[in-house]
């Protein structure tokens, strides 16, 4: 554990957030410095828990003047240690900035502080008969600030895009404490630079996002989900083309698990019951969302039947209830929960679809040449 010798700075920071707004080293919970991967575990000397943009501004100004590095922190659900502090860094946690400021049904927007969990945003939107489309397995723990800082994609990029496509405005604080105020709700805004896009995906290097205005979509009336067993990646790619043509804008997710990942989930994630045997090369989770329940289900089943007739899929399980939909999505979410398989090295790469089959084969081949006993798991979220 590193020690900060600038006691004047420490006292100043404590005064900014008040007695309930900080934790010193001995009182800092492990969740605030050990990430999910366990790759880094350095207890910080001080954890700051501001409640407002003003407090964040004062903290950053004081640390900047003192040349004191900080680590902004959301839900600590990342897999690359980006929010885990290094030696001597102070943690700036948003765990007390959890306010849903406003839901505006006329502009279909929601204004939130950076520490609000994704699941809270989803549920608040649903209560207002709207949808916030971003979804990922860590929804119950990850925060919108972290989602924005990393430009999260999630499970429904194929229909709704990355999170940068779901944001209208942000409020951010620069290193010197300056506040960039951009919390407008205008979807049509052609005035100058789109500054919010500089902060989205910047991982805190350009500034710290404190609030955001999120775009909400109409809540779908229908949802259909299936898990399909597929022999080869060529058939996976052709199945995607077929699904896009058959379902059009109703296609909301197309997620692919390689056989090795599916087997790992079956073995190391006991809470998940896989619905298909592990005899297929690939497993595709396909989802359709629309506005007409009967028509959309018929369209979805026709898509699957045609894919089967064309030899694109070998076996399929269709969820016929909300509970079964959740069980199929649990299989996909399990890909991020196979830590029990051993120490993990995680890589997230973006490729054209026509390169993915070769890439997967080549990665496995080259790794096995050097590390014979390595366990490999591949999965793909369609972008």
**Per-residue DSSP letter, 188:** S
Decide yes or no: CATH 3.40.50.2000 for domain 222-381: no
| pLDDT score, position 192 | 85
* HSE toward the beta carbon, residue 156, CA cutoff 13 A: 22
| pLDDT score, position 93 | 96
pLDDT beyond 90 at 172: yes
Mean pLDDT score across all residues of the chain: 92
| pLDDT score, position 382 | 58
Q: How many CB atoms lie within 10 A of CB 208?
A: 25
Query: Any idea where the domains of the chain sit in the sequence?
Result: 7-93, 100-218, 222-381
Provide the CATH topology of domain 7-93.
3.30.43
Question: pTM here?
Answer: 0.90
pLDDT beyond 60 at 1: no
Which of 42-46, 171-175, 215-219, 239-243 shows the lowest per-residue confidence on average (mean pLDDT)? 42-46
Tell me whether domains 7-93 and 100-218 share a fold.
Answer: no
Which of 74-78, 270-274, 324-328 shows the lowest per-residue confidence on average (mean pLDDT)? 74-78
| pLDDT score, position 39 | 67
pLDDT beyond 70 at 341: no
List, for residues 177-205, the tens digit of each pLDDT value: 999 999 999 988 888 899 999 999 999 99
| pLDDT score, position 180 | 97
List, for residues 297-327, the tens digit of each pLDDT value: 999 999 999 999 999 999 999 998 999 999 9
Length of the chain: 383
Mean pLDDT throughout 69-92? 88
Measured CA to CA in angstroms, residue 143 lies from 2, 73, 98, 138, 139 at distances of 27, 9, 9, 9, 8
Spatial CB neighbours of 379, under 8 Å, sequence gap ≥ 6: 255, 256, 257, 258, 261, 332, 335
| pLDDT score, position 374 | 81
User: DSSP letters along 170-228, please?
Assistant: EEEE-TTS-EEEE----SS--SS--THHHHTTSTTSS-EEEEEEEE-EEPPSEEEEEEE
| pLDDT score, position 79 | 75
In the numeric block, the tokens 């698990």 are attached to: 257
| pLDDT score, position 283 | 97
Which of 35-39, 130-134, 216-220 shows the lowest per-residue confidence on average (mean pLDDT)? 35-39
**DSSP SS3 for 111:** strand
| pLDDT score, position 339 | 66
CA 30 – CA 27 distance, rounded (Å): 9
Provide the CATH topology of domain 100-218.
3.30.465
- Token digits of residue 328: 């199929």
Strand partners of residue 51:
none
| pLDDT score, position 41 | 77
List, for residues 203-256, the tens digit of each pLDDT value: 999 999 999 999 999 999 999 999 999 999 999 999 999 999 999 999 999 999
| pLDDT score, position 340 | 63
Share of the chain above pLDDT 70, in %: 96
């Amino acid at each position: 554990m590193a020690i900060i010798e600038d006691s004047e700075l420490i006292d100043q920071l404590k005064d900014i957030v008040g007695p309930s707004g900080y934790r010193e080293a001995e009182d800092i919970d492990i969740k605030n410095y050990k990430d999910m991967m366990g790759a880094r575990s350095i207890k910080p000397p001080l954890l700051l828990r501001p409640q407002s943009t003003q407090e964040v501004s004062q903290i950053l100004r004081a640390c900047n003047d003192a040349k004191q590095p900080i680590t902004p922190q959301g839900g600590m659900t990342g897999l690359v240690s980006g929010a885990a502090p290094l030696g001597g860094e102070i943690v700036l946690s948003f765990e007390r900035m959890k306010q849903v400021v406003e839901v505006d049904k006329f502009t279909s927007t929601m204004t939130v502080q950076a520490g609000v969990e994704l699941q809270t945003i989803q549920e608040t939107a649903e209560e207002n008969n709207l949808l916030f489309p971003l979804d990922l397995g860590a929804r119950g723990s990850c925060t919108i600030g972290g989602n924005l800082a990393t430009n999260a994609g999630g499970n429904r990029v194929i229909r709704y895009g990355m999170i940068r496509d779901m944001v209208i405005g942000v409020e951010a604080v620069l290193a010197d404490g300056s506040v960039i105020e951009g919390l407008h709700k205008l979807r049509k805004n052609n005035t100058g630079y789109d500054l919010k896009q500089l902060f989205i995906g910047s991982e805190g290097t350009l500034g710290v996002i404190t609030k955001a205005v999120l775009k909400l979509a109409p809540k779908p009336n229908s949802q259909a989900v299936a898990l399909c067993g597929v022999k080869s990646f060529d058939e996976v790619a052709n199945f995607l083309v077929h699904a896009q043509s058959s379902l059009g804008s109703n296609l909301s997710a197309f997620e692919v698990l390689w056989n090795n990942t599916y087997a790992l989930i079956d073995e190391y994630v006991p809470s998940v019951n896989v619905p298909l045997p592990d005899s297929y090369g690939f497993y595709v989770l396909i989802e359709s969302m629309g506005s007409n329940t009967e028509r959309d289900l018929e369209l979805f089943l026709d898509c699957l039947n045609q894919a089967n007739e064309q030899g694109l899929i070998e076996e399929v399980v269709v969820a016929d209830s909300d509970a079964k939909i959740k069980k199929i999505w649990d299989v996909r979410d399990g890909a991020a929960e196979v830590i029990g398989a051993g120490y993990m090295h995680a890589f997230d790469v973006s490729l054209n679809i026509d390169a993915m089959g070769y890439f997967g084969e080549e990665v496995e081949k080259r790794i096995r040449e050097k590390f014979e006993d390595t366990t490999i798991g591949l999965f793909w979220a369609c972008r």
